[in-house]
Amino acid sequence: MTRYAFEYVVLRVVPRVERGESINAGVLVYCRDVDYLGAAVHLDRARLEALDPTVDVAAVKAVLASVTDSCERSETDHGALFRWLTAPRSTVVQAGPVHTGLTTDPAAEPARLLQLLVLPVGRS
C-alpha cells in the first residue's frame, strides 16, 4: 500500500482579530505526489456567536465556501493555490500553521481531519 506525504492546515475563524479568539472551521489538504487539493468546512454558528454576537455569519460562510470552491475548481498548480490560501493574513478567516502527515488516501483526509480537528467531540 502506497503512503503519500501531505500537508494540511486548520482554517480558523477569528471574528474579532484584535482579541485573537478563534474557532476551527475547516481544513485544507494538499498532496503533491498525486496533485490533490481539497477542503472541508463546518461552521458552528453558536460557538462563533459566543465569541462575537455581532459577527456577520453569512460573510464568514461565503469566505469558507470560496475556499472549498477554489479547491474544487482549480485545474492547475494546486501547490501554488495551497500556498496562497495558507499565506498569513489578518482577516476573519485565517489558516493555521502548516502540518504534515502520511496517508494512503489523500482524498479521504479532509473528512478525517474535519472530524478530528473541527467537529465537536462525539459528533460526525
Backbone region of residue 65 per phi and psi (left: phi > 0; alpha: psi in -120 to 50; beta: other values): alpha
Taking only the tens place, the pLDDT of each residue in 5-61 is: 999 999 999 999 999 999 999 999 999 999 999 999 999 999 999 999 999 999 999
Q: Could you tell me the residue range of the domain that residue 32 belongs to?
A: 4-117
- Is the residue at 95 inside a domain? yes
Assessment of whether the complete model's pTM goes beyond 0.95: no
Structural domains in the chain (count): 1
- Is the residue at 72 inside a domain? yes
- Is the residue at 96 inside a domain? yes
Give the number of other Cβ atoms within 10 Å of residue 110's Cβ: 22
Burial of 69 (C-beta count, 10 Å sphere; 0-12/13-18/19+): exposed
Taking only the tens place, the pLDDT of each residue in 94-122 is: 999 999 999 999 999 999 999 999 999 87
